[in-house]
Structures are given as C-alpha cells and as structure tokens.
C-alpha cells in the first residue's frame, strides 16, 4: 500500500494563481482489488485549460485532474499487466487505484523518447495537426500566423505549416523563444508581442495578408489577425490564453469576417479523430527525420506541480510543460 502525494486546490484564484492556493496532501492508496490496477504516474502534463477549471469545475480539497502517463505496478485486471504504460486523466498525484476504465495503453514509438507521447506525438501534436490542416484547411504555400508559437501546440502547428510550404509568422513573449523560432525552426517572421505592438508588427510581417490564423491567445492578437485576413481566410480557434486569468479582452473588429468571408471556428482534438492514423504516421516520420523539433520544460517532483502551472501561465515554459513524478 503506497503513500501517494497529491495536489489539492484549497482556494479559488482570482487572476494569476498563487502557490498558497494549493496544498500537497499525503494519502494511503489501497492495493488493487479484483478488476483494478495500481498505477504510478511517471510524468504529468501541465495545460493552460487547467486555469479556467480552477475558477469553476475543479473541486476544492481533492486531488486535481489532469493528463498523465503512468506505469501499472499492480494488476488484478485481465486487460493490463505490470509494467504497462497507461495514459490517464489522473495527474497531480503520484499513485492511484483504478478500475481501469479511462486508461489507455501506450506502446512507445521506437527510437523516440517516451515524453514525445505527452506532446508532439500525443494530443498536443494532434491538436496542432488537425487544427491547422483540417479546421484551418491550410493549403500549400499559404500565409499563416501562429500565436504562442514557441509553446507546446503552437510550435508544432508552426512547423507543420512550414513543412506544408507556408509563409509562417509566429508570436511569442520572450527574445529567447523568438530566437529559437527564427534560428532553429526557421519561421519567416517572429514577433515578440511584449516588446513590439502586435498590431503594427503583424501588419509589417504579413505583406500578403493571412490565409490561416492558428489562434491560441485571443484579445489583441485576434484583433490584429482579423485586420490581416485575406478573403475566405480561416481562423482556427484552439485557445485564448490571454483571457484565462483575468476574463476575456474585448475583440472590437469581429465584423471584419463579413466582407472577407472569413471562417472562425473553435475546435477540440476529438473533432477530427479520423485523422489519427495519418497524424501518427506523419508525426512519427517528421520526428525521426528531424523535420519537427520540440522543446520541453520538465519540473521535478509532485511538489513542483503548482509552480509548473503558475509558470505556464507566466510564460516560463519553452515547449511542453511537464512534471516528472518518477523514473
Ligand atoms: N482546443 C484544444 O483542444 C486545445 C488543446 C490544447 C491546448 N489548447 C490551447 O492552446 C494554447 C496553447 O496551449 P499549450 O498547451 O501549447 O501551452 P503553451 O503554449 O506551451 O504554454 C502557454 C504559453 O502561453 C503564453 N501566454 C501566457 N499568457 C499569455 C498572454 N496573456 N498572452 C499571450 N500569450 C500568453 C506563454 O508563452 P509566451 O512566453 O510566448 O507568451 C506560455 O508559455 C492555449 O490557449 C490552450 O488553451 C487547446
């Protein structure tokens, strides 16, 4: 019967979350009973979508929810063996017992690090792939803008757009991230929105306008993109992180979509599950060939999970934010 440490939300944040609003709690986790498995989490994912849930959705004083990759350490289920790797939604804790519903077995891709399944080769990469190619319907050689371009989703969307022959502009919030996008990824133009006014910088960076905007930020970013959209352009709305802490900033030029006949559509990864086989084939090949690069920011241990979530909202991560819970 292992002792597990887990992260509880004890007070709902207003604005940027504070470390004092979380607590690390020890619990005794029972052994697996018939039909159950005991899982030790190895890595947990830290995602912007957790912030809105802290305001509403995440219960107080119980283990928080979130994506994780774990290893089965006891099994009384016919479907799982000790040592199996399992994707689960029970992050923010070291161990858990489960009736195995909601667990999916992971077969690691040969020759690639395990953690790529938590970003480029997992739902993060799939969100970028389907959001750009299916929702955004990006075609060869189009003009593309990706916001939070050095983040987990954005960096993959921007690189797929380059692979597909696009002229690609990315925005990010630091000079280091901007340099990575320019020098390592080879984006055509990069904007540091904290040092350059986004509206003017995007205008200068997009002399041929925009066919696709892969939207991760909202507010001023969306206003700036709406001014640059070409006729029949597409805005694939993946996220709007600028509003997650403070409430959404107004977008004052939405009517631009009318005469340019711009499509603006929100989406989640499950909207295009039929693309999974194509995605797995393409992404695994791109990673092996070095055509897709990625960054990870890995914090160590369950006690660093609140700091990791706050850091993500402050832009402390380059690429995917993960917490390593065990070897
Ligand atoms: N629809 C879906 O199914 C789905 C799935 C996954 C993620 N998403 C969305 O995709 C977006 C990116 O998620 P991710 O997991 O890849 O996270 P991420 O981009 O790796 O990390 C978040 C980044 O957002 C940027 N940021 C934070 N506050 C900002 C602000 N006020 N204005 C502009 N940028 C800000 C920071 O980068 P900078 O340093 O560059 O500012 C930070 O590093 C989020 O909006 C998320 O909600 C949607």
Q: How far apart are CA 246 and CA 262, in angstroms?
A: 28
Average per-residue pLDDT in the chain? 97
Answer yes or no: is the C-beta of 192 below 6 A from any ligand 1 atom: no
Q: How far apart are CA 24 and CA 181, in angstroms?
A: 36
- pLDDT score recorded for residue 95: 98
Answer yes or no: is the C-beta of 131 below 6 A from any ligand 1 atom: no
7-22 average pLDDT score:
97
- pLDDT score recorded for residue 248: 86
Q: Sorting pLDDT into bands at 50, 70 and 90, what band is 71? A: very high
- pLDDT score recorded for residue 133: 98
pLDDT in tens, 154-207: 999 999 999 999 999 999 999 999 999 999 999 999 999 999 999 999 999 999
DSSP H helix total and E strand total for the chain: 9, 15
Q: Residue 163 C-alpha to ligand 1 middle, in angstroms?
A: 22
- pLDDT score recorded for residue 116: 98
**Strand pairing category for 143-146 and 167-172:** parallel
300-307 average pLDDT score:
98
Q: Sorting pLDDT into bands at 50, 70 and 90, what band is 247? A: confident
Tell whether the model's pLDDT for residue 1 goes beyond 90: no
Task: Give every strand in the sheet of 229-237, ordered side by side.
Answer: 189-192, 167-172, 143-146, 210-215, 229-237, 263-266
Atom of ligand 1 nearest to the CA of 237: 1
Question: What single DSSP character describes residue 62?
Answer: S
- pLDDT score recorded for residue 241: 97
Q: Sorting pLDDT into bands at 50, 70 and 90, what band is 246? A: confident
Q: Domain segments of the chain: what residues?
A: 3-119+295-324, 123-273+281-286
DSSP calls for 248-297: PPP-TTTTHHHHTT-EEEE--GGGGGGGHHHHHHHHHHHHHTTSS---EE
77-104 average pLDDT score:
96
- Nearest CA owner, ligand 1 atom 40: 172
pLDDT-above-70 percentage for the chain: 100
Tell whether the model's pLDDT for residue 100 goes beyond 90: no
CATH number for the segment(s) 3-119+295-324: 3.90.180.10
Answer yes or no: is the C-beta of 49 below 6 A from any ligand 1 atom: yes
pLDDT in tens, 113-144: 999 999 999 999 999 999 999 999 999 999 99
For the entire predicted model, the pTM comes to 0.97
CATH number for the segment(s) 123-273+281-286: 3.40.50.720
């Amino acid at each position: 019967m292992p002792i597990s440490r887990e992260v509880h939300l004890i007070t709902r944040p207003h604005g940027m979350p504070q470390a004092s609003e979380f607590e690390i709690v020890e619990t005794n986790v029972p052994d697996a009973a018939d039909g159950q498995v005991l899982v030790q989490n190895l890595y947990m994912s830290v995602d912007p979508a957790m912030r809105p849930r802290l305001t509403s959705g995440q219960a107080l004083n119980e283990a928080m929810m979130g994506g994780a990759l774990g290893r089965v350490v006891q099994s009384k289920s016919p479907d799982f063996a000790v040592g199996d790797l399992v994707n689960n939604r029970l992050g923010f804790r070291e161990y858990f017992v489960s009736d195995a519903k909601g667990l999916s077995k992971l077969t690691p891709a040969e020759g690639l690090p395990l953690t790529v399944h938590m970003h480029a080769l997992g739902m993060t990469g799939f969100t970028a792939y389907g959001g750009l190619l299916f929702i955004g319907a990006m075609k060869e050689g189009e003009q593309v803008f990706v916001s939070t371009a050095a983040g987990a989703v954005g960096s993959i969307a921007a690189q797929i757009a380059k692979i597909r022959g696009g002229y690609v502009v990315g925005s990010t919030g630091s000079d280091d991230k901007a340099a990575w996008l320019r020098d390592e990824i080879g984006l055509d133009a990069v904007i540091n929105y904290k040092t350059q006014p986004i509206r003017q910088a995007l205008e200068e960076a997009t002399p041929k306008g925009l066919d696709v905007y892969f939207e991760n930020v909202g507010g001023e970013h969306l206003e700036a993109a709406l001014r640059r959209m070409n006729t029949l352009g597409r805005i694939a709305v993946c996220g709007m992180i600028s509003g997650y802490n403070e409430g959404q900033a107004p977008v004052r030029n939405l009517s631009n979509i009318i005469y340019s006949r711009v499509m603006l559509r929100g989406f989640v990864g499950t909207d295009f599950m039929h693309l999974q086989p194509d995605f797995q084939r393409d992404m695994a090949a791109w990673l092996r060939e070095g055509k897709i690069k990625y960054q990870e920011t890995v914090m160590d241990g369950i006690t660093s999970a609140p700091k990791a979530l706050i850091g993500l909202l402050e832009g402390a991560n380059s690429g995917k934010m993960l917490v390593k819970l065990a070897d």
